[in-house]
Amino acid sequence: MPDGSMVQGPVLRVEDLTVRFTRRDTDVAAVNGVNFSLNAGETLTILGESGSGKSVSLKAMMGLLPGYARIDGRIWLNGRDMLTLPEAELRKVRGGAISMIFQEPMAALDPVYTIGEQIAETIVQHEGCSKDTAWKRALGLLEQVKIPSAARRLKNYPHEMSGGMRQRAMIALALACSPSVLLADEPTTALDVTVQIQILLLLRQLQQELGMAIVFVTHDVGAAAEISDRIAVMYAGRFAETGTTRQIMRQPLHPYTKGLLASTVHGGMRGTRLETIPGSPPNLAHLPPGCAFAPRCRYAVDACRQGDIPVVTDETGHMARCVRVEEAVPA
């Protein structure tokens, strides 16, 4: 895992972020009071099942949610509140100071423009340089993300590249204007295992070279362990547990975190029964009272289903949202 040696100070701070989608008679609480800060050179991984609010949180930070989304809270980027910026200012920041790698490059990249044209256009729009200068920068970016025959690949359309190459091109596009914060939305999900490892190693190397802060979203415990300095385990729009990677992987406190780790396949499991988390995530339009995980939790008691669940934080900053944390519930 990264050593965090480049940490210099907070570049991103999210305070009580709440996102609700309201249409007709439906009110979906997608994100429910998320808080974190991120330092330069540091990676925070948001880990959880599909539908937990991970990607919505990233899109809220980028200002990419639809008009019917109601966003409350604060998103401070380099001291500026993203949620109060006019649209014209937001367009300058988005893709510049903060950038995003999307989950599926084929959907994010424009199929009618070459890779080089898309990267160069981003540079021209944000930095106002000439097209020739932007094209040379685009070539350097493809070389930086280790795309072979980079000069030829600049002229390729997205469909002419493999999945791994498209993901590298997506990373090059995201890095075009040297962002201080990079948001990565499950960037390895659609790739085979070998390419996944290559992309994770590439992100770590680029972070060390450029000093970026990264918010990495995944449901893959292995990917989280490989790239993170800190992990936030998300469930039903809330952080159920946060801590350093070592704390989360070796001393999990929340039953949901323990369930995720126990249900992960790893070496030496041949012939053993894989544990699973019973049930399914709750309907975000009808969240149960108390702890949203209680209906699936083997350790739930009456107090788990009533009122607000306390947030317990130790002296190291390891946090869990659970009424039974101090009882040290066995895994």
pLDDT tens figures, 131-176? 999 999 999 999 999 999 999 999 999 999 998 899 999 999 999 9
**Per-residue pLDDT tens digits for 294-318:** 999 999 999 999 888 989 999 999 9
pTM here is: 0.90
Q: What is the pLDDT of residue 23?
A: 84
Q: What is the C-alpha end-to-end distance of the chain, expressed in Å?
A: 24
**CA–CA distance, 138 with 142 (Å, rounded to integer):** 6
The two tokens of residue 198 are 């290559």
Q: Which amino acid is at 329?
A: V
- Alpha-helical (H) ranges within the chain are 54-62, 87-93, 105-108, 115-127, 131-144, 150-153, 163-174, 193-210, 221-227, 245-250, 255-262
**CA–CA distance, 241 with 252 (Å, rounded to integer):** 8
**Per-residue pLDDT tens digits for 280-298:** 999 999 998 999 999 999 9
The two tokens of residue 52 are 């937990």
Tell me, what DSSP letter sits at residue 82? G
Cβ neighbour number for residue 90 with a 10 Å cutoff: 16
Q: Which amino acid is at 141?
A: L
Does the structure show a pLDDT above 90 at 99?
Answer: yes
Residue 305, SS3? helix
Quote the strand ranges of the chain, DSSP E.
Answer: 10-23, 26-39, 43-47, 69-77, 80-81, 98-101, 181-185, 213-218, 230-235, 238-244, 311-313, 319-321
How would residue 5 be classed by pLDDT, with cut points 50, 70 and 90? very low
Q: Which of 201, 142, 146, 149 is nearest to 174 (CA)?
A: 142
When pLDDT is averaged across residues 19-30 and rounded to a whole number, the result is 90
Q: What is the pLDDT of residue 331?
A: 47
> What is the residue extent of each domain of the chain?
110-178
Q: What is the pLDDT of residue 9?
A: 59
Q: What is the pLDDT of residue 218?
A: 93
Q: What is the pLDDT of residue 6?
A: 44
Q: What is the pLDDT of residue 263?
A: 85
When pLDDT is averaged across residues 37-51 and rounded to a whole number, the result is 94
